[in-house]
Amino acid sequence: MKKPSDSAASSLLIGIAGGSAGGKTTLAKELIAAAGNDIAILELDRFYHSLGNTKDCHQANFDEPAALDFELLQTVLEQLRTHGTASVPKYDFATHNRIGYEPLKTAPLIIVEGILVLWNSNVRDLLDFRIYVDAPAELRYQRRMQRDMKERGRDAESIERQWNETVSPMHDKYVEPSREYADQLIDGTADLKNTAHELLIVWTNALHANDNATSSNES
């Protein structure tokens, strides 16, 4: 964890990384349920590069760092902290293209969530807290199978093929090694509601300490 920066709009940038279907989104939802408007969520999935009309673009490797626009993510995070608002991309997974932008306002807690949030050093250096949500590979596979069949209408064969060809190899090559940069490892099989409340206590205390330090410097 780095010392929270002094900024005009007091906020903390928090990264939540970890393997696919490991529990990141569930944790983010529990944080929102507990903190409401005190949290702004920024999904890393928004920052995929557009693939245009590339043939077989649906077969692209979405699990490697090159698929993501980390430079734009860095700009967005800097704008949120400096100006209190930023334009964030909207990504259409049906066409694999960026279809516009929409405004995002800052909040006391800004959560950046995605498998490779801790991979890019420039983004990583902006984060005040770095979380890695961990779960066994077999459980993550089962969760992803259920999710993609139910929510994305995919068949089991295509899900298994993608897992074996890109998701699992890229996890081992890029995602798993990024856990070394985490300040805290979270058990993705645990009660994430309780985990969310525990994290919020830590982050709220850090916010108050930062505010007090800022007030002391200004007086």
Where in the chain are the domains? Answer: 12-205
What's the whole-number average pLDDT of the chain? 91
What is the C-alpha to C-alpha distance for residues 59 and 158, in angstroms, rounded to an integer?
10
Higher pLDDT, 215 or 204: 204
Task: Choose between 28 and 58: higher pLDDT.
Answer: 28
The CATH homologous superfamily to which domain 12-205 belongs is P-loop containing nucleotide triphosphate hydrolases (3.40.50.300)
**Distance of alpha carbon 79 from its chain centroid, rounded?**
17
Residue that the structure tokens 């709009």 belong to: 9
pLDDT digits (tens, 9 = 90+) for 169-191: 999 999 999 999 999 999 999 99
pTM: 0.90
What are 77-127's pLDDT values in tens digits?
999 999 999 999 999 887 889 999 999 999 999 999 999 999 999 999 999
Rounded to whole angstroms, the Cα distance separating 117 from 196 reads: 19
Structure confidence at residue 3 (pLDDT): 43
For residues 89 and 93, what is the distance between their CA atoms, to the nearest angstrom?
13
Q: Report d(CA 145, CA 150) in Å as an integer.
A: 9
